[in-house]
Amino acid sequence: MVVGEVAERAHVVVVGAGPGGYAAALRCADLLPGKRVVLVERDTVGGVCLNVGCIPSKVLIHAAERAHSATTDDTGVALRATVDARRMRDHRADVVAGLTGGVRTLLDAAGVEVWTGEARFSRPDRLAVVHGPDVRHLEFDHIVLATGSRPTALAHLPVGDDRVIDSTGALALEEVPDRLVVVGGGYIGVELGTAWAKLGSSVTIVEAADRLLPAMDKRLGSEVRRRLKQLGVVVHTKRLVTGLTDDGVRLDDDAVIAADKVLVAVGRTPNSDGLGLEQAGVTPAGSGHLDVGPDRRVTGRIFAIGDLTPGPALAHKATAEAEVVAEVIAGRPAVFDPAAIPEVVFSDPEVASVGLDPARAVADGVDHRVFRFPYAAGSRSRTIGSPNGFVQLVADRDDTVIGAQLAGHGVTELVAECTLAIEMAATVTDLAATIHPHPTMAEAIGEAALGLAGHPLHVRR
């Protein structure tokens, strides 16, 4: 602290205006009428998810699917697709601007003050907020750290080299790259690799593990890999990219793959550095995450949510944690203790997972049963020409639903019903007796539950 520096005071300061931070600020403003709530953001309101992550990637994926399905449709309707990558990028920017503008309106209406600048602790109860040459000081009763994460960098593939891009760069491309190598076959690699393949790139995915989407049930990665093969995408598993060559990349078996662009998507690193946490007496774990209690408290007046904390780096987890911290700050008893957090990948086919998968259940020693209902046995999937995929339900010995893994058209929506079932501790009978509308994809959930109950309807017993 500089002697004589003047600090303003707020009841709550939230650092980072992503889906965790802006939700925390809005809810604090709700619960603490008349108290000053300041949201500090160095960039644009909306964070990675709205500006350079979930939202623009889903616009790209939707557009790529339109372009691809127009030319491969077998319903008897022939269309011709022209791809203008620059206009597509402008469209993504419009969608993002609409959503971030909406968030800004909500914050203004709630009376949340938004400060632009980079926040850094100068004391456990004080921040310096730096914006260009200006520094403002802010003292607080409570602070919520929601600074998110950034793409993990690989030293031998430096983003910034003409050819090497991260997910932000892959969403900003103005041209369809002829040859794209994707390093990492996780969520981002699979989603963006598929999209650019559908737009005309020759795509190769290099994954270190023995399968795509290695963190999920292996059947999900298999479905995706089968489809990628149809799309002409080459997948190398158990391989590492060791460096750049003159016109591409070299793998650890010395193979060289030609590439105009190399997308590095090997995970995300929490943004806990640069916050001056040492001034607050807080030391991040080796991974960069902050240890938090069930109420998301790091220490005393400091809370953390979202990608900064252990667990999946997902926007909806951050938003759910935001509710909890706001309640705790308002003096209400609250803990973050979800029964399950759904994961969705907008691959082709889409895949989703929630709760325990069979491998996890075995590893955890949970006595369980599994039934998988194939989409091909359902009617709606046939009517829309998407018969690939399945709904797999996992139940424990008491018939309580404990997990679901899904692949196929629309499963990123269907997984919500499975999540509710797990959260409500629904039994197989509850799901089987729930009337699902016909003909819809959601019937597959009821069918899988009937299967677990021992009397499947549309598959042989």
Residues counted in the chain: 461
Produce one character per residue of 409-442: b if its CB has 16 or more CB atoms within 10 Å, e if not. Answer: bbbbebbebbbebbeeebbbeebbeeebeeebbb
- Backbone angle region of 179, left / alpha / beta, with phi > 0 → left and psi within -120 to 50 → alpha: beta
Which of these, 139, 104, 101, 132, lies nearest to 118 by C-alpha position? Answer: 132
Give strand pairing partners of 142.
12
Out of 93, 208, 330, 339, name the contact with ligand NAD by CB under 6 A: 208
Site string for ligand NAD, 187-206 (x = CB under 6 A): xxx-x--------------x
- 176 near ligand NAD, rule: CB under 6 A: no
Which of 199, 449 has the CB closer to ligand NAD? 199
Instruction: Give the number of other CB atoms < 10 A from CB of residue 64.
Output: 24
Which one of the spans 16-24, 99-107, 171-179, 182-190 is the region binding ligand NAD (CB under 6 A)? 182-190
- 391 near ligand NAD, rule: CB under 6 A: no
- 165 near ligand NAD, rule: CB under 6 A: no
**Shortest gap between Cβ of 383 and ligand NAD (angstroms)?**
26
Out of 41, 125, 207, 350, name the contact with ligand NAD by CB under 6 A: 207
Which of 138, 224 has the CB closer to ligand NAD? 224
- 351 near ligand NAD, rule: CB under 6 A: no
Which of 77, 155 has the CB closer to ligand NAD? 155
Which of 185, 451 has the CB closer to ligand NAD? 185
- Alpha helix locations (H) across 154-279? 167-171, 187-198, 218-230
Which of 210, 278 has the CB closer to ligand NAD? 210
For every residue of 118-146, DSSP letters joined together read: EEEEEETTEEEEEETTEEEEEEEEEEEE-
**Shortest gap between Cβ of 243 and ligand NAD (angstroms)?**
11
- 339 near ligand NAD, rule: CB under 6 A: no
**Shortest gap between Cβ of 210 and ligand NAD (angstroms)?**
9
Which of 112, 322 has the CB closer to ligand NAD? 322
- Show contacts with ligand NAD in window 282-321 (CB under 6 A): 312-314
Positions marked catalytic: 438
Q: Is the dihedral of CA 299, 282, 309, 303 positive or negative?
A: positive
For every residue of 325-377, DSSP letters joined together read: HHHHHTT-------S---EEE--SS-EEEEE--HHHHHHTT--EEEEEEEGGG
H-helix or E-strand containing 67?
Answer: helix 54-72
Q: Among all residues, whose Cβ is closest to ligand NAD? A: 186
| Residues that bind ligand NAD in the complex, under the rule CB under 6 A | 154, 183-189, 191, 206-209, 214, 240-241, 265-268, 312-314, 344-346
